[in-house]
Amino acid sequence: MSHSLSRKSYFCTCHSILLAIVMTLSVSVRNVDSAEIYDLGVLTGGTTSYAFGVSADGSVVSGRSGVSSGNHAFRWTLGGGMTDLGVLSGGSNSYSYGISGDGLVVVGDGDSSSGQRAFRWTSGGGMSSLGTLPGGTTSTATSANVDGSVVVGASTNSDSTNRAFRWTSGGGMLDLGVLAGGTFSNATGVSTDGTVVVGGSTSSGGLRAFRWTSADGMTSLGVLPGGSFSRATGISSDGFVIVGDSSSTTGQQAFRWTSGGGMVGLGIPAGGTSSQALAASGDGSTVAGYYQTAGGARAFYWTASLGMVDLNTYLPTLGLDLTGWTLQGAQALSANGNTIVGYGLHNGNTRAFLVAIPEPSSLILGFCGVTVCGISALRSRRASCRIRV
């Protein structure tokens, strides 16, 4: 398998990173001096909530909450709290799985008078169905790019088979196909500029993580040594770092893939039986997800220097009191990796959480020959491949 990327893709990537930098610099966020955790609460009538997406600056969160009857997608901010995004026409339930980098577009799925449909929500337009692929009956949206102009997910087709899609307002849903010998696929992540899509597809060799571009189509990322399957669930801003999980000789474990180094296993913490990466920071240097133990799932956080650490034991070393909390799944990261959202048990109730940790005093970003010095932007205080609950 070749890991080389085209010259065209390289310059597209530079453009997307510069866009992300401009967006980061234009957002006003509050620095934190110590780690903080927020229970995001529930919608009226609900008892449980789950967070699955966070904006690039860490100030806006999306997910789903129970209501008096069923579940509704939500959008949360520190100042406004949790807002009910409603349902599609004729529906009673909605679920959000992703949010745009600017925090203004929320995506997911919900039931409707036409069946289960992927949706795209904006404050001005509300919740709109994205339809299905030709002949399809169901669809779900899992992720959006920086401004929500590109949405990815999966839809059934005329053969009632799930296919990964890439949606734009001008072109609608594009079927991304499958790997050679495969029958179904699902897209779970998209780069900042919307040109790189990742997910999982069956193939002649089994389930494989994939990376898709318009120039190269769908490319398998392979498996870890001794593995028989893999799937991708997260992507860096530029699309050059991809995370997910793969089986291996040492068990099912989280991986981090780069164009130069291929797929590298991130291991399984002591006492764990498996691990799965779900999110990467903007530059791909930070990874989050969960690992399984005999006592249930526990959220993890990974960097090259830390290795894979259990958030339940790591955060107290930063001075954060987690009394009453068990963090079960880290689902999304802000661009700088210092805001983590997910869900866990809080005083016995399943609740969406936001954790903000201090950022180093200076962060040097060098992309495509452009270096930005001293960026310290810690946010406000604050399917398939994902854990679906």
What local confidence, expressed as pLDDT, does residue 7 receive? 33
What local confidence, expressed as pLDDT, does residue 388 receive? 32
DSSP code, position 202: -
| DSSP H helical ranges for the chain | 7-26, 311-317
Q: What is the mean pLDDT of residues 293-309?
A: 97
| pTM to 2 decimal places | 0.86
Q: Which helix (H) or strand (E) holds 180?
A: none
Q: What does the alpha-carbon distance between residue 10 and residue 251 come to, in Å, rounded to a whole number?
A: 34
Instruction: Give tens-digit pLDDT for 60-93.
Output: 999 999 999 999 999 999 999 999 999 999 999 9
Q: What is the mean pLDDT of residues 241-266?
A: 97
| Residue % of the chain over a pLDDT of 70 | 84
Whether the per-residue pLDDT at 19 is higher than 80: the answer is no
Q: Which helix (H) or strand (E) holds 184?
A: none
Residue 274's identity, in one-letter code, is S
Instruction: Give tens-digit pLDDT for 91-129.
Output: 999 999 999 999 999 999 999 999 999 999 999 999 999
In sequence order, what are the residues at sequence separation of 6 or more whose Cβ sits closer than 8 angstroms to the Cβ of residue 295? Answer: none
Q: What does the alpha-carbon distance between residue 192 and residue 240 come to, in Å, rounded to a whole number?
A: 11
Instruction: Give tens-digit pLDDT for 142-185.
Output: 999 999 999 999 999 999 999 999 999 999 999 999 999 999 99
Q: In this predicted structure, which of 26-30, 175-179, 345-349 has the lowest mean pLDDT? A: 26-30
Produce one character per residue of 142-166: b if its CB has 16 or more CB atoms within 10 Å, e if not.
bbbbbbbbbbbbbbbbeeebbbbbb
DSSP code, position 58: S
Question: Could you tell me whether strands 262-267 and 197-201 are parallel, antiparallel, or unpaired per DSSP bridges?
Answer: unpaired
**Residue 23 DSSP SS3:** helix
Query: Could you state, in order of their start, the residue ranges of all structural domains in the chain?
Result: 7-372
Whether the per-residue pLDDT at 31 is higher than 80: the answer is no
Average pLDDT of the chain is 88
Residue 360's pLDDT band (boundaries 50, 70, 90)? low
DSSP code, position 34: S
**Domain 7-372 fold:** Methylamine Dehydrogenase; Chain H (2.130.10)
Beta bridge partners, 297, equal 292
Q: Could you tell me which residue, 14 or 233, shows the higher pLDDT? A: 233
Residue 359's pLDDT band (boundaries 50, 70, 90)? confident
**Residue 120 DSSP SS3:** strand
